[in-house]
A and B are shown apart, each in its own frame.
Chain A
Amino acid sequence: MVVMTWAALIPLFPLIGFAILGGSGSKLSKGAAGFLASASVFISFLFSIAVFAQVLGSPVAAFKVQIFDWIQIGSYNLGFSFLFDRLSAVMLLVVTGVGFLIHVYSIGYMHEDNDFNRFFAYLNLFIFFMLLLVLGSNFLVLFAGWEGVGLCSYLLIGFWFSNNEYNAAARKAFVMNRIGDLAFLIALLLLFYNFNSLEFDVVFSQASSIGAGDQLLFIISILLFIGATGKSAQIPLFTWLPDAMAGPTPVSALIHAATMVTAGIYMVIRANVLFVLSPMTSEIIMWIGVATAFMAATIGLKQNDIKKVLAYSTVSQLGYMFVALGVGAYSTALFHVVMHAFFKALLFLGAGSVIHAMGGEQNIRFMGGLKGKLRITHITFLIATLAISGIPPLAGFFSKDEILAVTHSHSMVVFTLLAICSVFTAVYMFRLYWLVFHGNFRGSADQQSHLHESPMSMTFPLIVLAVLSTIGGFIGMPSIFHTPHYFNEYLMPMLNMQAHELSHSFEYMLIGVSIVALVIIVWGTYNYYVKNNNVPIDESEEKGLQKIIQGKYYIDELYESIIRTPLQKLSLFLHNIIDQGVIDRIINGSGLFTLSFAGVLRIIQSGSLGFYLFAMVIGIIVLIALSFFLLM
Chain B
Amino acid sequence: MLTSLLIYFPIIGILFLTLLKEKNSKVVALGSSLLQLLLTAYAIASFQVNAGVQQMIDVWWIQSLGISFKAGLDGISLLMVLLTNFLMPLIILSSFHKTYPNTKLFYALILLMQSALVGVFTARDGFLFYVFWEMALIPIFLICYLWGGVNRLKITLKFFLYTLAGSLLMLLGFIYIYLKTPAPHSFDLDILYQTVLSSYEQEWLFLAFMIAFAIKIPIVPFHSWQPDTYTDAPSEGTMLLSGIMLKMGIYGIARFVIPMFPFGFDRYGELFMILCSAGVVYASFIAWIQKDFKRLIAYSSIAHVGIISAGLISQTHLGLQGAFFQMISHGVAVVGLFLIADILFNRKQTRMLDQLGGIAHHQKWFSVFFMIILLGSIAMPLTNGFVGEFLLLNGILQYNIWYAVLAGMSVIFGAVYMLQAYQKIMLGKEPEDDASLFKLHTNEKIVLTIISLVILLTGLFPQSLQALVEQDIFQLLSIKS
Contacts and interface: CB of A to CB of B under 8 A. Distances in A.
Interface of A: 22, 25, 68-75, 80, 140, 143-144, 147-148, 151, 154, 158, 161-162, 164, 167-168, 171, 174-175, 178-179, 181-182, 185-186, 188-190, 192-193, 567-568, 570-572, 574-575, 578-579, 583-584, 587-588, 591, 609, 613, 616-617, 620, 623-624, 626-628, 630-631
A567 B423 CA distance: 20
Contacts of A147: 380-381
A73 B394 contact: yes
24 contacts: A70-B462, A71-B462, A143-B381, A147-B380, A147-B381, A148-B380, A161-B427, A162-B428, A164-B427, A164-B428, A175-B419, A182-B409, A186-B405, A189-B393, A190-B397, A571-B285, A574-B285, A574-B286, A575-B289, A583-B224, A623-B131, A627-B61, A631-B4, A631-B59
Q: Max chain A CB contacts within 10 Å: which of B8, B131, B382?
A: B382
Contacts of B401: 186, 189-190
Interface stretch (B16-24, B85-93, B157-165, B254-262): B157-165
A151 B382 CA distance: 12
A368 B57 CA distance: 86
Interface string B449-481: 000000000001111001100100000000000
Contact of B423 (A140, A167, A179, A189): A167
Contacts of B358: 162
The interface size bin for chain B is 35 or more
A189 B387 contact: no
B461 A630 contact: no
A489 to B, nearest CB: 35
Nearest to A182: B411
Interface in B38-65: 57, 59-61
The secondary-structure label for the interface of chain B is: helix
A190 B8 CA distance: 47
B312 interface: no
A71 B423 CA distance: 32
A178 B394 contact: no
Contacts of B61: 623, 626-627, 630
Contacts of A627: 59, 61, 69
B347 interface: no
A171 B420 contact: yes
A182 B69 CA distance: 47
Contact of A175 (B59, B317, B412): B412
Nearest to B360: A161
A617 B141 CA distance: 12
B415 A178 contact: yes
Contact of B361 (A80, A162, A591, A616): A162
Contacts of A624: 11
B134 A620 contact: yes
Contacts of B98: none
Given A71-B463, A144-B382, A574-B286, A617 B416 contact: no
Q: Max chain B CB contacts within 10 Å: which of A147, A174, A570, A578?
A: A147
Given A571-B285, A591-B161, A627-B61, A158 B412 contact: no
A151 B162 contact: no
A571 B131 contact: no
A158 B69 CA distance: 58
Contact of B286 (A144, A181, A579): A579
A620 B131 contact: yes
Interface string B136-175: 0010011000000000000001100110000000000000
Contacts of B460: 68, 70, 80
Nearest to B223: A583
Contact of B157 (A154, A609, A623): A609
Interface string B352-384: 000000101100100010000001000011100
A140 B285 CA distance: 28
B438 interface: no
Contact of A174 (B162, B282, B390, B419): B419
B167 to A, nearest CB: 12
Nearest to A578: B282
A522 B47 CA distance: 77
Q: Max chain B CB contacts within 10 Å: which of A22, A154, A164, A168?
A: A164
Given A144-B381, A186-B405, A587-B162, A193 B131 contact: no
A161 B11 CA distance: 49
A578 B412 CA distance: 22
Interface string B422-464: 0100111110000000000000000000000000000011110
Contact of A74 (B158, B317, B361, B419): B317
Contacts of B8: 628
Contacts of B195: none
A584 B162 CA distance: 12
B31 interface: no
A574 B282 contact: yes
A162 B429 contact: yes
Contacts of A175: 412, 415-416, 419
B415 A73 contact: no
A269 B380 CA distance: 24
Contacts of B380: 147-148, 151
B289 A568 contact: yes
B311 interface: no
B288 interface: yes
A19 to B, nearest CB: 12
Closest 7 CB pairs of A and B: A144-B381, A161-B427, A571-B285, A584-B224, A571-B289, A189-B397, A72-B466
A140 B460 CA distance: 12
A186 B224 CA distance: 31
A598 to B, nearest CB: 11
Contacts of A587: 158, 162, 224-225
A190 B398 CA distance: 9
Given A186-B404, A193-B398, A583-B224, A178 B412 contact: yes
A571 B284 CA distance: 9
B105 interface: no
B336 interface: no
B2 interface: no
Given A140-B390, A587-B158, A631-B69, 10 more contacts: A68-B461, A70-B462, A162-B430, A167-B423, A167-B427, A174-B415, A186-B405, A189-B401, A571-B285, A623-B61
A189 to B, nearest CB: 5
Nearest to A580: B224
Nearest to B461: A68
A151 B375 contact: yes
B318 A74 contact: yes
Contacts of A616: 134, 138
A22 B412 CA distance: 28
A587 B461 CA distance: 43
A357 B426 CA distance: 32
B129 to A, nearest CB: 14
B182 interface: no
B381 A148 contact: yes
A563 to B, nearest CB: 12
B394 A193 contact: yes
Contacts of B157: 609
B321 interface: yes
B264 to A, nearest CB: 24
Given A182-B412, A189-B393, A72 B470 contact: yes
B285 A192 contact: no
Contacts of B405: 186
A113 B381 CA distance: 31
B411 A178 contact: yes
Nearest to A188: B390
A164 B360 CA distance: 13
Contacts of A148: 380-382
Q: Max chain B CB contacts within 10 Å: which of A72, A148, A193, A617?
A: A72
B200 to A, nearest CB: 26
Contacts of A572: 289
Contacts of B161: 591
A167 B318 contact: no
